[in-house]
Amino acid sequence: MSADEDPLVDPRDTTRTEAPENLAPHARVPVKIEEALGALAMALIVVISFGNVLARYFTNVSFAFTEEFSIFLLVFMTFVGASAAFATNEHIRIGFFLGLMGPRTRLLAEAVTLLATTAMFALIVYYGAQVTFDEWYWGETSPGLGYPAWIYTIWLPLLSLAILGRVIGRAVASVRGRAR
C-alpha cells in the first residue's frame, strides 16, 4: 500500500525521505543542482570558520575575510535552498490550516502563495539588479576587504530568477495536476 492509498499517511507530510527527483517530478532542471550548491556553500562556511578558529587559537590573529565571505555564503545558501524548497513543494507554509481547508480553498491558498512569492522575488530581481548596477557603476567596494561590492550583490537577482523559475514551474505543474 502506498502513501497515496494509506488514509493514515498525510500526503502533505514534509518529513518525507524520498529523493528530490521523486518530490519534483515536474522539474526539468534537477533539484540536485541546488542541493550541490547549498552543500558547497555550507562546506565553505565550515572550512572558513574552522580555519579562523585555528588561526585565532594558535596565533591570536583572525582572518579578515571570514565574516564577509561567510555572510555572502549564508545568503547564497538561503536563496539556493529556497529554490530547492519551491521545486519540491517543501516551502514554508502553515500545514495545520491547510489541513482544515477543503480542496478548493487549498487551491486558492496555493495560488495566493505562488502569486505573492512571484511578486516578492520579481521585486528582488528588479531592485537587486538596480543595486548591483549602481555598485558596479560607482565602483563601490566592500568595507572589509575592499572587493567590488557588486560581486556579492549580483547573486540576489540571479538566484531570485532561479527561484522564480521554480515557482513558475510549480504553478504550471499545479495547473496541469502533476504537482505533489
Domain ranges of the chain: 20-176
93 pLDDT above the threshold of 80: no
Q: For residue range 25-79, what is the model confidence (pLDDT) as tens digits?
A: 667 788 899 999 999 999 999 999 999 999 999 998 888 788 899 999 999 999 9
Structure pTM? 0.79
Q: Say whether pLDDT at 9 is over 50.
A: no
CA–CA gap between residue 131 and residue 31 (Å, rounded): 29
Q: Within 13 Å and on the Cβ side, how many CA atoms surround 110?
A: 24
